[in-house]
Structure 1
Amino acid sequence: MNILSLLPFILIIGVMFLMTRSAKKKQQQAVEMRNQMQPGTGVRTIGGMYAVVKEVGDDTATLEVAPGVHAIYAKNAIGAVLDDEEYNRIVHGITAEDVKVDEVPDDASSLTQADEPAVSSDDSPIDLGKKAADADAEPKKTDGEGDTK
């Protein structure tokens, strides 16, 4: 037998070996990624749904798919574990440039006296126009028994 006749078979076996090796490597990386999930991490499922990990079990993960809505998924249904910046960009549309470091929190629990908003000198109530609309309306006429006419 000539070595040239065996060359195609050797080449095919070599390509198959490399393909299975890279597939096993990708599979091992996916398993490691899923094992590193922690509560509070944003994930994308293999179905394309974005959620936040609430609890991680041996073979399952509890995901919060909407505020107050929890679902249990198999770990192998997690397609990608996302970092916070990517999750906020995709789900909430918030980019790193949108986040301001000096921003005051909504609840204003960390305000100091120097940070308190100034009170306007005009403390008069704001007229929403409701009284004016009621004054333009024709007054209701009643007969002596309280019934409107």
Structure 2
Amino acid sequence: MYLILILAVAAFWFMSRKSRKQQRAQQEFRSTLQPGDEVMTASGMMGVVVEVEDDTITLESTPGSRTRWVRAAIAKKVEAPVADDQPSDEDGTEDDEPADRLDDEPIDVPDDLSSLPPSRGDDDTDRK
């Protein structure tokens, strides 16, 4: 009986420990916000931190469009996109793009399926 109780308390302690670490990391992140940081709010709005007051963060999403947010609403810092270091071919295409078609004959695409020939596996059209 005591073993089950001890296991339950230990499981609860380990689960709460993980969430406490996450909360601590979020609080540390929010306390280090400064003007110029690009962030995303919990609702998905992205912007640049313009002003940091006590518990209020002012974001600028587009030039001249400023909104004020509670510090707890800032979810994460947005990392700048990394440039692709993959070289391209001489003609400007990348290696993983499909090659051009060899024949330049136009392809006739019908508007409905009635003009299409039967597929190779449709020998018996009565089978459903």
Specify the TM-score bucket, using the shorter chain as the normaliser.
0.5 to 0.7
Distance 1:76 1:28 in 2: 12
Distance 1:82 1:37 in 2: 12
- Alignment correspondent of 1:15: 11
Distance 2:17 2:55 in 1: 25
Confirm or deny that 1:53 pairs with 2:49.
yes
Contact 1:34 1:81 in 2 (8 A): no
- Alignment correspondent of 1:122: none
How far has the Cα of 1:82 moved from its partner? 2.2
Q: Deviations over 1:38-59 (max 9, x none)?
A: 1111001000111110011111
Give structure 1 stretches of 5+ with no counterpart.
90-94, 99-149
Identity %: 38
Distance 1:63 1:32 in 2: 19
- Alignment correspondent of 1:81: 77
Distance 1:58 1:12 in 2: 40
Which structure: greater helix fraction?
A: 1
Give structure 2 stretches of 5+ with no counterpart.
86-128
Q: 1:96 aligns with which of 83, 93, 98?
A: 83
Give the number of the structure whose alpha-carbon radius of gyration is greater: 1
In the alignment of these two chains, the number of paired residues is 85
Q: How does 1:1-149 map to 2 (within 5 A)?
A: 5-83=1-79, 85=80, 89=81, 95-97=82-84
Q: What's the C-alpha RMSD, in Å, of the aligned pairs?
A: 1.4
The DSSP-based 3-state class of the residue aligned with 2:47 is strand
Q: Deviations over 1:7-54 (max 9, x none)?
A: 111100001111111111110100100111111110010001111100
Q: TM-score, normalised by structure 2?
A: 0.62
Q: TM-score, normalised by structure 1?
A: 0.54
